[in-house]
């Protein structure tokens, strides 16, 4: 398995970019192009990434019942996958690990995130945690004061008995933002991740 490109710090990136900009401003340098030399270390093949989209409403009756971490990791390794995004929390507000802050999906009976992360770490596959931010039906039901209001003064909260969809919350509410930060602190400190992806900023927020 090839190694991911080495980390480039923000300071290093800015320094190299500014140096390149300075060089390009010099006479006769118009055709010169700055390229990070570490790009040469990338594999001579397509870079294989997977986003394992995994949103599940409460109506999904079984999750991970036949999950096998070794089989999962072996399949990724066989496919020469370089990195993968797995779920910490979905758009319905369900966690895929035992969180102290919110509900684990009712159909999940074990720490799925841990199994996926460990399988990837064992094979040197970069692994990132997905976290849905402003779409969260669980929090919308618990904190309706955080809901986004549309132009017609309605919200995205579904009717009683209706399957939850895209229930949008507004990040103008500081307690909501602080709660999301606590969520993030929890899963990034608990698991050996290469990073995290935060999804769903609503237009106008």
Mean pLDDT by 10 residues, the chain (205 residues): 47 49 46 59 76 87 94 96 95 95 94 98 95 92 91 80 76 94 96 90 50
| Residues 61-80 pLDDT 10s | 999 999 999 999 999 999 99
Q: Give the number of C-alpha atoms closer than 13 A to the C-alpha of residue 122, restricted to the C-beta side.
A: 14
Predicted pLDDT of residue 29: 45
Predicted pLDDT of residue 57: 84
User: What's the mean pLDDT when you consider all of the chain?
Assistant: 82
Predicted pLDDT of residue 23: 45
Predicted pLDDT of residue 143: 94
Predicted pLDDT of residue 36: 63
Ranges of H-type helices in the chain: 10-24, 69-78, 112-122, 137-142, 174-190
pTM for this predicted structure? 0.74
Predicted pLDDT of residue 31: 44
What the block records as the tokens of 145 is 């004061």
Name the burial class of residue 35, with classes exposed (0-12), middle (13-18) and buried (19+) by CB atoms within 10 angstroms of its CB: exposed
**What 3-state class would DSSP assign to 85?**
strand
Map out the domains of the chain with their CATH numbers: 10-42 (no CATH), 43-199 (3.20.20.80)
Separation of alpha carbons 99 and 204, rounded Å? 30
């Amino acid at each position: 398995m090839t190694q991911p490109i080495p980390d480039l710090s923000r300071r290093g990136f800015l320094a190299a970019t500014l140096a390149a900009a300075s060089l390009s401003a010099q006479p006769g340098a118009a055709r010169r192009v700055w390229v990070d030399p570490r790009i040469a270390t990338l594999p001579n093949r397509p870079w294989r990434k997977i986003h394992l989209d995994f949103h599940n409403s409460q109506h999904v009756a079984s999750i991970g019942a036949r999950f096998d971490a070794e089989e999962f990791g072996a399949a990724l390794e066989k496919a020469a996958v370089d990195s993968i995004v797995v779920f910490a929390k979905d758009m319905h507000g369900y966690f895929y690990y035992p969180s102290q802050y919110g509900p684990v999906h009712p159909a999940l009976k074990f720490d799925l995130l841990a199994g996926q992360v460990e399988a990837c770490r064992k094979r040197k596959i970069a692994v990132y945690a997905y976290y849905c931010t402003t779409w969260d039906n669980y929090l919308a039901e618990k904190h309706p004061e955080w809901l986004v209001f549309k132009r017609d003064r309605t919200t995205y909260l579904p009717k009683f008995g209706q399957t939850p969809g895209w229930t949008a919350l507004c990040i103008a509410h500081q307690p909501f933002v602080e709660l999301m930060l606590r969520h993030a602190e929890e899963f990034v400190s608990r698991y050996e991740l290469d990073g995290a992806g935060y999804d769903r900023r609503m237009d106008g927020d």
